[in-house]
Structures are given as C-alpha cells and as structure tokens.
Amino acid sequence: MARTDYLFTSESVSEGHPDKVSDQISDAIVDLIIAREPEARIACETLVTTDQITLGGEIRCAGMVDADDRITPEANAEIEAAARQMVREIGYEQDGFHWETAGFTNHLHGQSADIAQGVDAGGEGSNKDEGAGDQGIMFGYACDETDALMPATLHWSHQILKRLADDRHSGAAPFLEPDSKSQVSLRYADSKPVAATALVVSTQHAPGYHEGAKGAQLSDYVRSVFHDVLPEGFISDQTVMHINPTGKFEIGGPDGDAGLTGRKIIVDTYGGASPHGGGAFSGKDPTKVDRSAAYVTRYLAKNIVAAGLARRCTIQLSYAIGVAEPLSLYVDLHGSGDADPAKLELLLPQLVRLTPKGIRTHLGLNKPIYRPTAAYGHFGRTADGDFFPWERTDLVETLRAEF
C-alpha cells in the first residue's frame, strides 16, 4: 500500500547556475537554427568554465554547413553572437566569466549521414515515415498538488529562484548575483502537501553580503521570498531555513564550477516525483524524441488530471531509432482515479498521433520556442501563444466525454 504521510524534497537551480547557462546557450542555438529552417536538425552541447564557452555537436541546416561538413564563417559568427547574447541576458559581467570577453570555441559540424537516413521520411512515392531520432524511454507526469498540476516541492523551488532572478534584473535586490540554488522539503498528509519542514537557498552575492548588516539584509530578503512564494500557513516556527549555509558565496557561475548541457534533468522535469527516461532536452531539435515525446507525455498526463480522471498520472512512451511508431505506451494513475488506464492507452493515440512528426505537428514544435524552457523547468509553465504548447488543456472535454 502506498504511503500517504511522508516528507518529500525537490531542488531547483537558477538561470545563472553553470549547467543552466549551458542549457540556455544550447537552446539559444536551437532557436537560431529553427528560426532559419523549421525542419533543421540540431544537437548542440555546451561547456562553460572560467572565461570559456565551448560548443560541440551536429547541425543540418541549409547555408550553415559547407561541403566538408564544417560550419561556415558566417554561421559561426551568428552562433557566437547568440551564445554571447544569452550570457549577457543572464547577467554575467564578472571577472571570471563575462559575456563579451569569454573565449569562444565552436566544434559544431554537419549531421551524421548514418543517423539522417534512419530519421528522414522517404521521398516522393515512399511509404517511409519520419523515424525517431534515437531510441529511448520518455515519461510525462501531472498531479493536482498545485494549480500548475506539478509537484509542489519543485514548483515552489522554481518560483523562489524565479523571484530572486526577477528582483536581481529589476534592481530590487542589487546584492544578488546570477548563480543560485533552492530546495523545498514538504510534509505530506493524506498524500497532500500541508507544511514546509525545510527551505534552502544558496545564492551568489555581491562582495561583503555574507556577514554583518549586509549578511542580515540578504538573509531577511530571502526569508521574505519564502513567505511570498509558499502558501499562507505552510511556514511556521518549526520550518528550518538554511540561507547560504556555507557562508561566503561570491565566486559562482562558470567561474566557480564548470557547466554542461543536460546535467539538470530532474530539475527540468518533476523534481524526482516521477520516473525519468534519462535523456536531456536542451540543445535538441524536436525530431529528437528525448524532447518531443517527453513534451507530449506531459501534455497527455496534464489533460488527464485536468479532466478530473485522476489526481496523479504518469505516462511512458518508448521508441527505436529510425522507427516512427512508438514501441509501447503505458499509463499509470497511481490508484488516484476511477478511469481505466488500459482504455486510456487505447484512446490517447487516437487523440494525438504519437510518431515524431505527429507530435511535432500537433504541438507545433518546429518553431523557435525553446530558450524560455531552459531555466525554471520545462513543465508547469503557462501556455502562451507558441510557447509551452504542451501545457495546454485542450483535450479535457474529449477525455471527460469518453469517461
């Protein structure tokens, strides 16, 4: 029998965390290339460290790669400008990492023909559909713990750091620097979050804001953010708060620790409340099912919970590289609803064709919409025009009618 009373914790990292800097640069490159050619292929990995930005991976986009599979000088200049602009928007103008002066190296090159032949749809007269860009398993999840239908521990971890970033950018908290992490531990009763037992923030700060009056100012500010973000009554005298528990945190970001694309996959998804297939999202065009299938499983799970068919829902898809149709579809309602998971497994492919092309077409993924996903979570965001289409709940009435 599943436990109903327990403690659970999730963490988040800010846009200035070195791994998130890498994710955002990679997705800035994805957007640059998809804006130029919606059907382009891109897999971009980024390494950031002290005064250095390094890219690697593969591209297929008309005019950006020469006959020898090398990036053209003009494309290289565009890519470098996009990477530097992303770092500038995050706010890095530090001695150890500055958007304008950091070294830049680009090792992107043309896409492997061996991969392309399996992924591409057949030409005129062919019955071959576009295949998956890789093998793998992908999970989507939704629950009714928050209005965003996300785990509360992760949702509030994101919101705390988003508030710090907004105040830093606006000048309301000028003592903050870009790198920060948060952690929220909640007590659950009858499987519902009822109280915060521990809250943690470690944030990079301006010189001197770790002791004395300045240290108290920073601590008081973070405490006020805790109270603003969490619902009334969740924080009490019993809530343990750790604010910069190591003390001084002036050296941060890529100068303090190297960053790589794809190292924060649990932060990107559900904070540990759901299984994860293992594949990262950032830096990949939507033919890669690591990204697009994870988005559509969230979309389906969210609509199931929004329709009132369950309080929790986990969905898994699996694919083989070069094969269009998924190998399996699994729905788990965790005993939280009366709907038949087996019936859902038959119904969902009728609502959305779960091939790579079907997913991209249904959700409109061949657009430059990925930079905003690369910090503060890919899920639980507000569907806004072309952005975050997997957060729409436009299947709710159909699902309710079927059940």
**DSSP per-residue codes, 230-265:** SPTTS--TT-EEEESTTS---S-HHHHS-EETTS-H
288 is an active site residue: yes
Q: Among the residues of 62-151, which ranges form H helices?
A: 73-90, 113-119
The DSSP letter of residue 144 is S
User: What is the per-residue pLDDT across 89-114, written as a single tens digit (0 to 9) for each?
Assistant: 999 999 999 999 999 999 999 987 66
39 is an active site residue: no
Question: Is 282 within any annotated ligand binding site?
Answer: no
Q: What is the pLDDT of residue 325?
A: 95
The pLDDT of 381-390, averaged and rounded, is 96
- Which of 45, 130, 268, 391 is flagged as catalytic? 45
Q: What is the pLDDT of residue 130?
A: 79
Contact 268, 298 (CB under 8 A): no
pLDDT band at 124 (very low <50, low <70, confident <90, very high): very low
Question: Is 70 within any annotated ligand binding site?
Answer: no
- Which of 8, 20, 255, 371 is flagged as catalytic? 20
Question: Is 280 within any annotated ligand binding site?
Answer: yes
Per the model's pLDDT, the better-predicted residue between 129 and 38 turns out to be: 38
Instruction: Kindly report which listed range (77-81, 319-323, 380-384) carries the lowest average pLDDT score.
Output: 319-323
162 is an active site residue: no
From the candidate CATH numbers 3.30.300.10, 2.60.40.10, 3.40.50.10890, 3.40.50.2300, the one assigned to the domain spanning 18-119: 3.30.300.10
Read off φ and ψ for residue 65, nearest 5 degrees. -125, 135
Nearest alpha-carbon partner for 180 in 283, 51, 90: 90
Tokens matching residue 68: 């020898």
232 is an active site residue: no
CATH number for the domain running over 136-144+268-402: 3.30.300.10
95 is an active site residue: no
User: What is the per-residue pLDDT across 10-25, written as a single tens digit (0 to 9) for each?
Assistant: 999 999 999 999 999 9
Question: Is 257 within any annotated ligand binding site?
Answer: yes
Q: What is the pLDDT of residue 126?
A: 47
Q: What is the pLDDT of residue 278?
A: 82
Read off φ and ψ for residue 319, nearest 5 degrees. -140, 160
Question: Is 400 within any annotated ligand binding site?
Answer: no
Cβ burial of 149 (10 Å; 0-12, 13-18, 19+) is: buried
**Residue 155 contacts by C-beta under 8 Å, 6 or more apart in sequence?**
145, 146, 148, 380
Indicate if the pLDDT at residue 127 is higher than 70: no
For tokens 């382009």, the residue is 40
210 is an active site residue: no
Does residue 204 sit in helix, strand or coil?
strand
pLDDT band at 119 (very low <50, low <70, confident <90, very high): low
- Which of 78, 80, 167, 257 is flagged as catalytic? 257
**6-13+152-251 and 18-119 have identical folds:** yes
Q: What is the pLDDT of residue 123?
A: 47
Question: Is 248 within any annotated ligand binding site?
Answer: yes
- Which of 155, 162, 168, 181 is flagged as catalytic? 181
* Residue % of the chain over a pLDDT of 90: 90
How far, in Å, CA of 112 to CA of 106, rounded? 17
19 is an active site residue: yes
Question: Is 179 within any annotated ligand binding site?
Answer: yes
Question: Is 284 within any annotated ligand binding site?
Answer: yes
User: What is the per-residue pLDDT across 158-177, written as a single tens digit (0 to 9) for each?
Assistant: 999 999 999 999 999 999 99
Q: What is the pLDDT of residue 125?
A: 46
Rg, Å, the chain Cα set: 22
C-alpha separations of 252 from 85, 138, 249 in Å: 19, 33, 7
- Which of 8, 11, 17, 168 is flagged as catalytic? 17
Q: Please state the domain extents for the chain.
A: 6-13+152-251, 18-119, 136-144+268-402
Contact 143, 273 (CB under 8 A): yes
The pLDDT of 195-212, averaged and rounded, is 97
Mean model confidence pLDDT for the chain: 94
- Which of 31, 134, 290, 332 is flagged as catalytic? 290
Q: What would be the CATH architecture of the domain defined by 6-13+152-251?
A: 2-Layer Sandwich (3.30)
**Alpha-carbon dihedral of residues 163, 169, 172, 178, nearest 10 degrees?**
70
- Which of 82, 116, 258, 320 is flagged as catalytic? 258
Sheet containing strand 259-260, strands side by side: 103-110, 52-60, 41-49, 259-260
258 is an active site residue: yes
How far, in Å, CA of 311 to CA of 299, rounded? 15
User: What is the per-residue pLDDT across 263-304, written as a single tens digit (0 to 9) for each?
Assistant: 999 999 999 999 999 899 999 999 999 999 999 999 999 999
Question: Is 263 within any annotated ligand binding site?
Answer: yes
How far, in Å, CA of 50 to CA of 52, rounded? 6
User: What is the per-residue pLDDT across 40-72, written as a single tens digit (0 to 9) for each?
Assistant: 999 999 999 999 999 999 999 988 998 888 999
